[in-house]
Structure 1
Amino acid sequence: MPSASSRTGRAAALAIAVAAMPAAWAQQGASCEKPVYLTFDTGHMGVASLVAEVLKRQNVRVTFFAAAERTQTDGDSLDSHWAPWWKARAAEGNEFASHTYDHAYWRGDLKGVAPSFRIKPSAGALAGREFTWSTAEYCANISKASERLALITGKKPLPLYRAPGGKTSPRLLAAAKACGFEHVGWSPAGFLGDELPSEKFSNEKLLAQALETIRPGDILLAHLGIWSRKDPWAPANLEPLIVGLKAKGFCFETLRQHPQYRAWIASHP
């Protein structure tokens, strides 16, 4: 039978080992040699609960780009109905950024000394009409979504934004950057196809294509619900995509860790 002193020694050693485990796990988690950056834009929010469940189950953090888009709950994606959902995602360690408050599409630059743009919102009271916006008006719409996210999540969003449809011009990007917002698009292979017609692009085809073509460093794009797609993407593909990428050695990070944006984010605390 082991002596009291040897038992005490082993107990102390075990305590030290257990205490060291979190640090070891953290170090292992910090090592991400094949990162990908999964991002979600808002939509009708019909798959939002499912997306949250999958991300939590798979221990994956993502970056959400939010606009006040029309939802299946007869409101918008940044209203009080969805505030608890966003707050819960913040508590899980996800990141947030603006998608312009009114999901405002850039339609063209206008000539003149002061930059101005043709803009067509697809959400809110202005939806479907085309306007001429100054730099200040465009920046205000980006900021409005960011400020709303900060209010309902309790977490400061990243100083990033994504233009609806990814439609921009050099002049528009320069204007947004001057007011503190760097634009984020997506990688060609990262376009996951959830807004394409399911009659031509089946979930099986989209999943196989993604697993074949995604490479380390890619920014991936999906949505929290697309009105036009008859066979929704997320219920069929989100978890198999994450599991499949993990099996190939990929790991998931938020845009806070992206090498292209780290310095910008750090300089805009």
Structure 2
Amino acid sequence: MSAIRQYLPAALLCATCLAHGATPEACQGTVYLTLDTGNMRHAEAIATILDKHQVKATFFVAQEKTLRGDHALDASWGDYWKARVAEGHAFGSHTWRHGSFRQDEADGRVTYRLMDGTHARLDAAQVCAELKAADTQFQALTGRPLDPLWRAPGGRTTPLTLKAARACGYRHVHWSAAGFLGDELPSHTHSNAMLLERALARIRDGDILMAHLGIWSRHDPFAPMLDPLIAGLKARGFCFARVPTP
């Protein structure tokens, strides 16, 4: 069972097709493109691809360092996020510091590994604050709060982290196995052509797809492949929709 179908009834799946200009008969399936901030290198190019295909995506935002030397939720990115809001995309929290939730501790706190390699130990209120900080800043930039969704960096969660996030109103959104588009993988072992072919062959109705607005490590960026990927999935009869909110 795909990740989205675990909490979406068939009637709502059909409604997402209708909301994006397709009849249930024309829509042979619905997929959900999600984009994590990353280093923002291809943020504008991806926005152009989405506009070209009239696809609405779900962005998960964190205060990550960008290729420009600033951070993804700095005021310098305000116009970018305002434009995406105006286009009707959905937005969720990717935490503030983009750390990794490592393990639950006996005292009810969770170990949180930060990008610089140091560790913090967060209680439930502090987990909530990590999610809400991105929400607060996004609203300050755009006038719009985030949707009640979040994604843990690396998709790594713990039971205590999920419980704390639910308590402060955020539902976690992972990705489907086939929806892992591989833009983090090394180019020399996973060429763009291979990743594109694999995605087009494996993605099924209800899958949540995941890519980034920029990746530091990959030599040959996958981001331009979103253009043929979207076109190919549409040719297979798929519609695209935002991840539904609770």
Name the TM-score, length of structure 2 as normaliser: 0.89
Matched with 1:43 is 38
Matches within 5 A, 1:133-144: 133-144=122-133
Q: Which amino acid aligns with 2:90?
A: E
Structure 2 distance, partners of 1:56, 1:132, is 41
Structure 1 distance, partners of 2:75, 2:60, is 17
Question: Structure 1 pair 231/103, CA: closer, same or farther in 2 (3 Å)?
Answer: same
Q: Which amino acid aligns with 1:191?
A: F
Counterpart of 1:108 (choices 103, 107, 110) is 103
Matched with 2:235 is 247
The answer to whether the 8 A contact 2:124-2:160 is kept is no
Q: Shift in Å at residue 248 of structure 1? A: 0.2
Structure 2: which 5+ runs fail to align? Answer: 1-17
Identity %: 48
User: 4+ residue runs of structure 1 moved beyond 3 angstroms?
Assistant: 25-33
Residues matched between the structures, number:
227
Matches within 5 A, 1:190-209: 190-209=179-198
Counterpart of 2:110 (choices 104, 117, 128) is 117
Q: Shift in Å at residue 157 of structure 1? A: 1.4
Matched with 1:231 is 220
Deviations 1:80-131 (A, max 9, x none): 111100100000000111000100210111002xx20100122xxxx32101
Structure 1 distance, partners of 2:65, 2:165, is 25
Deviations 1:130-157 (A, max 9, x none): 0111111111010000111122122221
The answer to whether the 8 A contact 1:96-1:149 is kept is no
Deviations 1:38-89 (A, max 9, x none): 0000011110010000000110000000001010111101111111001000
Counterpart of 1:217 (choices 188, 206, 209) is 206
SS in structure 2 at match of 1:81: helix
Structure 1: which 5+ runs fail to align? Answer: 1-24, 257-261, 265-269
Structure 1 distance, partners of 2:94, 2:21, is 33
Higher relative contact order (CA 8 A, sep 6+): 2
The answer to whether the 8 A contact 1:34-1:251 is kept is yes
Deviations 1:178-217 (A, max 9, x none): 1111111000000000001111000000000000000000
Q: Which amino acid aligns with 2:227?
A: E
Q: Shift in Å at residue 239 of structure 1? A: 0.2
The answer to whether the 8 A contact 1:135-1:175 is kept is yes
Q: CA RMSD in A?
A: 1.5
Q: Shift in Å at residue 26 of structure 1? A: 6.6
Larger fraction in helix: 1
Matched with 2:52 is 57
